[in-house]
Homo-oligomer: A and B are copies of this chain.
Amino acid sequence: MGASVGLALARAGIEVLLQDRDPEALAEAVSVGAGVARTPASPPPALVVVAVPPSAAGAALDLELRRWPKATVTDLTSVKAVPIAQALALAGDPARLVGGHPMAGREVSGPGAARADLFDDRLWVLTPTAETDPARLASVVALVETCGGLPLVLDPASHDRAVALTSHTPQLLASLLAARLAEADEGDVAVSGQGLRDVTRVAGSDPVLWTEILGANAGPVADILDRLASDLVGVRDALRSAADLNRTGADASVPLEAVTAVLRAGNEGRARVPDKHGGRGAAEYVVVPVVIADRAGQLGRLFAVAGEAGVSIEDVRIEHTVGRLAAVVELSVVPGAAAALTDALEVGGWTVRA
């Protein structure tokens, strides 16, 4: 990610000096155009961007603050409170420290995977402390904007609480559920559908990287798991009571009220998740399901018809089924466009499902 910052700044004509404790990574970053290698003859930097794993961030921030007595120092670490507290506890000047976290994760890493456009239109959280000089914050805001990012200022604890809820806990829940599949019978796993695929998708993430992230944000994640465990046990107990009542043929509706309450709260929470455009809720789109034969070219013709009808496809999902030759493509469009799209597709010979 450090090399991507270099590329994004170089794109804007900013002079970037690179340093890496791994000479090969440094050479690769230089070769992709992320900047030039810093030498003893290089001028002192005005702004230092620290790109290290969470466990190394506190010490690295402190080191750079002390090494460059006039520079503003920021970082790219995905957790903020612990590294910043570590840096503040050391000798560096807290007025020049502005924590940062670009929300632009990628599954691949290293300078070879760097991209100048990685931050374009992405949120980039900045976490000044009470001791941060406002002029230093302004210069990091300018850095973010130069890189194409959207600066969002939060205090370090608020940032960590937010990502604990929206990123770190979802990762853990997906892994905990998928871990149950690891030991299940083959036949049990075969009977599965889109819901399971969606919920477990992020369970494929790198365990070493995620252990470090979760370890660095351990307190806020543990706080959420406390409440989740309590809710989970409540649902478990309600279902156990219902099972006992079912067995005796009695009415299980009273314990099941607790289950309904969780499902309703889930509806509410789901409605608050920003959609891919960051504003409009997913519920504000209409899904037009179209049957296609599962072969090269069909998708192209489908989208060509949509394009000719002047309809913008906001999202698309392909729903295959086990052993199926045909597939259903779900096209999401704004409500006003659904009728025009359906008409255009039906005129073109497509089957639109009710």
Contacts and interface: CB of A to CB of B under 8 A. Distances in A.
- Total identical chains: 2
A40 interface: no
Contact of A218 (B205, B246, B262, B267): B246
A323 B269 contact: no
Contact of A229 (B192, B197, B236, B321): B236
Interface stretch (A14-22, A134-142, A163-171): A163-171
Contacts of A187: 154, 158, 162
A175 interface: yes
Interface stretch (A43-51, A67-75, A92-100, A310-318): A310-318
A239 interface: yes
Interface residues of A, number: 150
A243 interface: yes
A325 B121 contact: yes
A75 B65 CA distance: 71
B228 A235 contact: no
Looking at chain A's contact residues, the main secondary structure is: helix
A316 B175 CA distance: 23
Contacts of A239: 214-215, 218-219, 221-222, 225
Contacts of A218: 239-240, 242-243, 246, 252
Given A296-B306, A315-B318, A165 B180 contact: yes
A315 to B, nearest CB: 5
Contacts of A185: 158, 162
A324 B279 CA distance: 11
A12 interface: no
Interface string A197-241: 111111111011011001110110110111111011101100110
A188 interface: yes
